[in-house]
Chain A
């Protein structure tokens, strides 16, 4: 069996599961946010539910429109806050201590290897980087899960991606996943689990593994997953990660004879830093083939690349340089904890000196909600994960997806470029 099949079988109390089978699993964690949560809570009460199955296994995060951008957003956040209070849910985050859901759940140790997690947010697949089976659902599924503590799944087929080689210094996890999506398309892994493996993946730090699994949904996948190894286990036992919850980790890995719908082998020697052109994440090109793309805005942050490691890379490039005139470079740490650490390390000062704007943690511009919405005809380079029509604002604006290194270099040059061109 594959690692995904093993996790699902174990959760469902079975010896074995096969792709295509329908199973029901108890859940270790259910997540909702300030966009999906209000509808889920309304549905929860329409279902006739009164108490959540286990307040300790529910997480509510206000991150999309926070700090609340208007009265409606404030009302939605208040709904979550009041519900958390009334149900005894301690894991409600909005301001200090919070941040973007897919960064703070791992950061706070709320997801463990081997768990089954659903979240009313498509990028819930991020937690696969911890060796958990994690997948996105909508508000009604989240409501049912909050009431019942379980969810039905169709066991997915798995695709395996094996990465080898020694890439150029500026090729990060973001480039590997953009390259992968460029190869298989935005529906190339529809309904499937994407398993990432190989020597290159084994050498990646957790931040880049999270970025890779985060974007599995951009290929249509149900989940992304990386088998836990030393890096994973060291990461989950860090003091600030492990202080909160259950220390149990169930470490699964795929059998040597596990069956895959397909196995892809990519040699990263040939992979350049990637840029995804509008309006699909699959429209990828190597940085040398980008041409002259002048930008109005650069966004460094989001659940893809708002990690401390991402900010360090951006700061390394921006240190002692200036953002080009007319470019708004918006840097958004992924969590309060990361913001604090970035301040202590002097990264925030570096950004401010370079002429960047530094925001408190929020999804904000990633989905065109607030804090950096684009006008018609404007163009942004962003470390976010989607460049659909109108995603960051006006339907006639354009988004180019890339790594923090490319976004930082582009902010300095005022056009999309590699740090090597500075």
Chain B
């Protein structure tokens, strides 16, 4: 799968409270959540983001609350993937479960600047920085994570399991 877009760069420990603040947690529709994505971190984000764009962050992205509203909001805002030096565990599971691709790469996280044009090849494990003419390799997903990504999320896997049982 190829993802191509502009990078929006943020720091370390971006928590799920700033990704989608609690005052919007009574909402459940993806579009309603997307309308407030990252609003406490970057008021300009929603104006700037285009379909396929990539969030690039430092370490421990998605820490804090288990709210799946966070990856749902990011995905529904049109973001094609999140690149980070590392991800918080629950966010990682949630994102794969709903089919939001994640790339864990300290190298890409450090090298990509805000507004760089990037292209991600998930299967090959390569991030291309078109603006800087650089490439960063990452380990493609394996095991359960790869299955989840291939199936587009957990829903299909559960459907198949229930059909077998």
Contacts and interface: CB of A to CB of B under 8 A. Distances in A.
A64 B67 CA distance: 12
A39 interface: yes
Interface string B146-165: 00000001110111011000
B66 A390 contact: no
A388 B88 CA distance: 15
A222 interface: yes
Given A76-B26, A367-B22, A386-B17, A138 B67 contact: yes
Given A138-B67, A186-B60, A368 B22 contact: yes
A353 interface: no
A155 B5 CA distance: 35
Contact of A187 (B13, B69, B157): B13
Nearest to B99: A140
A262 interface: no
B18 A187 contact: no
Contacts of B143: 22
Contact of B144 (A22, A48, A73): A22
B25 A121 contact: no
B46 interface: no
Interface stretch (B49-57, B90-98, B105-113, B124-132): B90-98
A342 interface: no
Interface string B68-101: 1101100000000000001011100110011000
Interface stretch (A141-149, A233-241, A408-416): A141-149
Contacts of A222: 89
Contact of B18 (A139, A144, A389): A389
A386 B158 CA distance: 33
Interface size class of B (residues with CB under 8 A): 35 or more
A109 interface: no
Interface in A310-343: none
B41 interface: yes
B27 interface: yes
A280 B144 CA distance: 31
Nearest to B22: A367
A106 interface: no
Interface in A176-222: 186-187, 190-191, 217, 220, 222
Nearest to A385: B64
A230 interface: no
Given A121-B66, A368-B21, A395 B90 contact: no
A114 interface: no
A137 interface: yes
Contacts, number: 133
A269 interface: no
Nearest to B94: A138
Given A138-B93, A140-B153, A388-B64, A38 B23 contact: no
A169 interface: no
The residue among A39, A140, A220, A386 with the most chain B CB atoms within 10 A of its own CB is A140
B67 A390 contact: no
A358 B114 CA distance: 47
Contacts of B98: 140
Contacts of B115: none
Given A186-B63, A187-B60, A148 B158 contact: yes
Interface in A26-53: 35-36, 38-39, 42-43, 46-49
Contacts of B72: 39
Nearest to B41: A389
Contact of A388 (B18, B59, B93): B18
A49 B15 CA distance: 32
Given A36-B68, A186-B13, A144 B154 contact: yes
Contact of A148 (B23, B27, B64, B161): B161
Interface string A382-422: 00001011110001000000000000000000000000000
The residue among B18, B41, B66, B90 with the most chain A CB atoms within 10 A of its own CB is B66
B144 A152 contact: yes
A136 interface: yes
Interface in A157-191: 186-187, 190-191
Contacts of A390: 17-18, 21, 40
A39 B76 CA distance: 15
A369 B25 contact: yes
A280 B66 contact: no
Given A136-B66, A140-B98, A369-B23, A388 B162 contact: no
A391 B17 contact: yes
A187 B23 contact: no
Contacts of B64: 122, 217, 386, 388
A138 B97 contact: yes
B21 A65 contact: no
Contacts of B22: 64, 367-369, 391
Contacts of A386: 15, 17, 64-65
Contacts of A137: 66, 90, 93-94
A246 interface: no
5 contacts: A22-B144, A72-B26, A143-B158, A148-B161, A367-B22
